């Protein structure tokens, strides 16, 4: 028995609850026998991976569900060992090259060549090709993407690639042009309520509509999050009655606290306080870009209209720097100082530059 989010995951294209048009298209693609490389993209929790799994089942039949997980070790030119987890069935293989950081190029090159050069031996297989699923394709390094691009053309007969990414912006154009782009949009609230209802029915309880609405609102289009919240809620207050509060993840609450601190007071002491909180968040392995985004959104909610654009602009500015640089805390603090300065200038109604 596992978590609901996994237990009631749709297994075939027919089970999918929303984006029926997309499902139909995938079904016809799978049936056509002319399956292209594909790039699934869309926000987190929209159902990309579920859809990929369903498509695979449509392509190869239930055999794809028999998977095994193992580790492969790759050797870098500098003799460092890289461990990569592989999930594979007879018909497909699934990798997350970003696990290896900078060395993803080696994984891509070696693994894909190896797969591409062996033909499908199972004569009963529905398709002559194998499928390689590359998760988190948007965090592939440029080298790795470049390595991918020739392989995709050359070994087309033996292999199809399905990329899965949050956005296409960080994929190089040649890759994008070689794939069929599939956008999996976040479900709208009706679709989400339907799914929640469906899960509740399957589990065997009644989900009050107002609770469902609350969850849907909180999840903001993230189906996985909605289901996790639902289960947490059901676990914590089994009868789902009375005054329910949707639990936010702790890091999010904490980020909001940080945002409040920034808005309340703009002093050096406060800068230090905020810094300590950022350290705490970072040490919980929350990605710094997520921290910056969450805090910035909260700050924007709480300041005057005139400041909003500026704050977001600087958040974007420092996010870029953060991605390029290596000391995340420097850039987080730089943003905080910037915001405090902006806020003060706004508060006193004038530009204080030159008053020191």
Partner 1 sequence: MAVFISNGLLGGGLQKEPVAEPPTSTMLPAFVPTSLLNPSEEDTSTPARHVQPLDANQILPEPQASLLDTGTTTESRTFVSNGLLSGAHPGDATQGPIPETFTLNTEITPASRSFVSNGLLSSAATIEAAQDESPKTSTTNVETTLPSRSFVANGLLSGTTPRTLPFPMDRAPQASSSTLRFNVQARTFSGKSVYIRKKSKLLTNQPTNQLSGQKIGKLLDVPIHRLMDELSAATAARLATLPSRETKDNAPEDTLLVDRYRPRRYVELIGSERVARDTMTWVKMWDWCVFGRKKGKKRAREGDEELYDDDEYHRPRDKLLLLSGPPGLGKTTLAHVVARQAGYEVMEINASDARSGQVVDDRIKPTLEAGATIGSKKPVLLIIDEIDGATGAGDSSATFIHKLVQLTQQKSKKKRNGQKNGPEVKKPILRPIICICNDHNAASLAKLRPYAYQIRMSRPADIHTVKRLRTICDAEGLKAETRALGTLVGIARGDLRSCLNTLQFIKSRSDEVTEAMIRRATAGTREADNTISSVLNSLFSPMTRKRVKELGLTEDQEGRYISRLSQEIDAVGKESSIATGCFSHYANLRQLDANFSRYEKANEWLGVYDYMTSAMYSEGEFALSQYIPYLLIPFHPLFQERGSARVERSQADWEHSQTRRTNEEIYKSLAGCIRIASGKLGGSYRQFMSSPVLETEFAPYLNRIISPPLRPVNSQIVRPEERTLLTRLVSIMASLELRFMQERAEDGQLTYRLDPPIDVFVNYDGKRAIDIAVTRYAVRHLVAGEVETKLTGQRVDIIEKSKPSFRGFFGSSDKSNVPSRTRLGDDADAPPSKRIKVDLADKPPTDFFGRPIDLTKITIANQAHQKKHATKCFKISYRFAEGNSAAVRRPVKLDSFL
Using CB under 8 A as the binding rule, the residues of this chain from 252 to 271 that contact partner 1 are: 253-254, 266, 268, 271
Nearer to partner 1, 24 or 272 (CB): 272
136 binds partner 1 (CB under 8 A): yes
Shortest distance (Å) from residue 294 CB to partner 1: 9
Q: Least CB distance from residue 151 to partner 1, whole Å?
A: 23
In the bound state with partner 1, the residue whose beta carbon lies nearer, of 172 and 352, is 352
Q: Look at residue 2 and give its three-state secondary structure.
A: coil
> Of 326, 328, 356, 327, which Cα lies nearest the Cα of 341?
356
Q: Which stretch binds partner 1 (CB under 8 A): 16-24, 146-154, 232-240, 301-309?
A: 232-240
Contacts of residue 325, defined as CB under 8 A and 6 or more positions apart, other chains included, come to 331
Q: Whole-number minimum distance, CB 24 to partner 1, in Å? A: 23
Residue ranges in 313-342 that form contacts with partner 1 under rule CB under 8 A: 318, 321, 324-327, 329-331, 333-334, 337-338, 340-341
Which residue among 25, 126, 178, 224 contacts partner 1 (CB under 8 A)? 224
DSSP designation for 79? -
Binding-site member from 249, 264, 301, 309 for partner 1 (CB under 8 A): 249
Nearest-approach distance from CB 34 to partner 1, in angstroms: 27
Q: Which of residues 287-306 bind partner 1 (CB under 8 A)?
A: 287, 290
Q: What is the DSSP string of 17-56?
A: -S-HHHHHHHHHHHHHS-PPPEEEE-STTSSHHHHHHHHH
CA separation for the pair 133, 64 (Å, rounded): 13
Note whether 139 and 323 are within 8 A (CB): no
Tell me the window of 23-31, 108-116, 273-281, 304-312 that interacts with partner 1 (CB under 8 A).
273-281
For residue 150, what are its two tokens? 């020739």
**What is the rounded distance in angstroms from the CA atom of residue 84 to the CA atom of residue 79?**
15
Report whether 195 contacts 229 (CB < 8 A).
no
Nearer to partner 1 by Cβ, of 185 and 271: the residue is 271
State which of positions 36-75 bind partner 1 (CB under 8 A): 44-45, 49-50, 53, 65-69
| 35, 171 Cβ separation under 8 angstroms | no
Regarding 86 and contact with partner 1 (CB under 8 A), the answer is: no
Tell me the site size for partner 1, rule CB under 8 A.
Answer: 79
Nearer to partner 1, 155 or 318 (CB): 318
Task: Report the side by side order of strands in the sheet with 68-75.
Answer: 68-75, 81-88, 92-95, 130-134, 159-165, 38-41, 180-183
Smallest distance, partner 1 to C-beta of residue 235, A: 4
């Amino acid at each position: 028995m596992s978590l609901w989010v996994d237990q009631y995951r749709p297994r075939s294209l027919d089970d999918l609850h929303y984006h029926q048009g997309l499902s139909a298209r995938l079904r016809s693609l799978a049936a056509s026998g002319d399956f292209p490389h594909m790039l699934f993209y869309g926000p987190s929790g929209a159902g990309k991976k579920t859809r990929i799994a369903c498509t695979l089942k449509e392509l190869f039949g239930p055999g794809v569900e028999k998977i095994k997980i193992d580790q492969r070790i790759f050797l870098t030119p500098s003799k460092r060992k890289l461990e990569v987890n592989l999930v594979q069935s007879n018909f497909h293989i699934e990798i997350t090259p970003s696990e290896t950081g900078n060395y993803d190029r080696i994984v891509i090159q070696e693994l894909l060549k190896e797969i591409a050069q062996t033909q499908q031996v199972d004569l009963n297989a529905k398709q002559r090709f194998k499928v390689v699923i590359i998760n988190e394709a948007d965090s592939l390094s440029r080298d790795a993407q470049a390595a991918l691009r020739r392989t995709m053309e050359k070994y087309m007969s033996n292999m199809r690639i399905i990329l899965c990414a949050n956005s296409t912006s960080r994929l190089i154009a040649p890759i994008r042009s070689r794939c069929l782009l599939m956008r999996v949009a976040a479900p709208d609230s009706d679709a989400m309520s339907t799914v929640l209802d469906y899960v509740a029915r399957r589990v065997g309880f009644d989900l009050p509509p107002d609770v469902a609405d609350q969850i849907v609102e909180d999840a903001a289009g993230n189906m996985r999050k909605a289901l996790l919240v639902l289960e947490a809620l059901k676990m914590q207050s089994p009868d789902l009655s009375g005054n329910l509060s949707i639990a936010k993840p702790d890091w999010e609450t904490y980020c909001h606290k940080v945002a409040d601190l920034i808005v309340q007071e703009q002093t050096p002491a406060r800068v230090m306080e905020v810094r300590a909180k950022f350290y705490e968040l970072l040490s919980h392995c929350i990605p710094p870009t997520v921290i910056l985004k969450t805090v910035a959104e909260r700050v924007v909610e709480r300041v005057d209209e005139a400041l909003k654009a500026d704050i977001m602009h600087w958040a974007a500015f420092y996010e870029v720097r953060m991605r390029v640089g290596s000391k995340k805390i420097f850039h987080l603090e730089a943003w905080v100082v910037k915001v405090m300065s902006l806020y003060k200038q706004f508060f006193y109604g004038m530009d204080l530059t030159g008053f020191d």
